Amino acid sequence: MNKTYNLGSIVVMKKAHPCGANKWEIIRIGADIKIKCLNCGRSIMLPRIEFNKKLKSIIEEEKHEEEN
């Protein structure tokens, strides 16, 4: 499975956040990946390898301009 994610991608992890939500936005990509919980706004940092292991699916790739 090809997992492509970018800054701003919305992802689902294998394990939900303790707040009950399981939707995260990628806010930083480097050696470590930083993701922010869309429900409570807390962010966590994971080494890229670990992030890839815990990543379940990508809901939305890089955000595009919304059409209004």
- Cβ atoms within 10 Å, residue 27: 14
Sign of the alpha-carbon dihedral angle for 2, 47, 53, 15: negative
Site for Zn ion in 10-49 (CB under 5 A): 17, 19, 21, 37, 39-40
Size of the site for Zn ion (CB under 5 A): 6
Q: Where are the alpha helices (DSSP H) in 1-68?
A: 48-54
Nearer to Zn ion, 4 or 41 (CB): 41
Minimal distance, residue 10 CB to Zn ion, in Å: 14
Nearer to Zn ion, 7 or 40 (CB): 40
